[in-house]
Each structure stands twice: as structure tokens, then as C-alpha cells.
Amino acid sequence: MKIIRWAANGACWLMTDESTDYIATGPALAALERIFGPAKTVENDALTAVVASLKVPWAAMESTFRSQAFDNESRFGKGTSWTRTMAKAQRETLADAGLARSITDLQKAIGNAKTAVPVS
């Protein structure tokens, strides 16, 4: 397991070849760093290489960030975890044209989410 921090915006994921979890900065990240070691900060090229080597879809990276991945009961819903096993049943959802298809799409999605003005 490795904690990856994206240099472009500080987003962090705990990644293995079977699962990806988005980690919000703060106490959760600090606790995981005590267990797995400090987050490795990577630039775009290195993040692309990690994602490619683990064969994680960019759509999964975005869905975990947006808390639209798997919930704690392994159902697709409000959650921050993606696993290869659970995803087999969710191919259509991850194929959603609205989710990231590249590192550029992911960067735009995260940038838009952080700058979006809440609607009241």
C-alpha cells in the first residue's frame, strides 16, 4: 500500500493493485501516514505512471474523490473506496461519460469541485 499525494492540488489516495481510497487531508491522513509512512508527493507524469501500473481507471480516481464510489457496505453510493472486485459489477457506472478519462479530466474535476460555489 502506498499513499500518493498529487502535487498539482494536494489530493491524496491510498492505493494498491486491488483498491483505491481517497483520503481527505487532516486527521485521517495523519493516522494513515503513521501506519504506512509519509505520503509520496508526485507530479503528473508520476501519477499517470502509478495509475497505469496499478490499472486503476481515471473514472475510479474521480469517483473516490467525489465520494461517489463504494460505501462501507460495498454498494455503489456515497463512499471513497474503489476496489477491482466490486467494480466488476459497476462497469456501466464507471463508464459514465461524465467521469475522468485522463489526468487532465481528473485535474479539471478536482479543480472545479474545490472552486464550486455551494448552491443554497
| Chunked mean pLDDT (size 10), the chain, 120 residues | 92 92 90 94 96 91 87 76 80 70 91 59
Say how many residues make up the chain.
120
Phi, psi of 32 (to 5 degrees): -65, -35
Q: C-alpha grid cell for residue 46?
A: 508520476
Residues 6+ apart with CB under 8 A from 114: 9
Residue 103 DSSP symbol: H
Sign, CA dihedral 103-54-57-16, equals: negative
Residues linked to residue 81 through DSSP beta bridges, in sequence order:
21, 70
- Please report the pLDDT score of residue 120 as a whole number: 34
Residue range 61-91, pLDDT digits in tens: 998 988 888 877 777 778 899 888 877 766 6
What is the rounded distance in angstroms from the CA atom of residue 24 to the CA atom of residue 89? 26
- Please report the pLDDT score of residue 61 as a whole number: 92
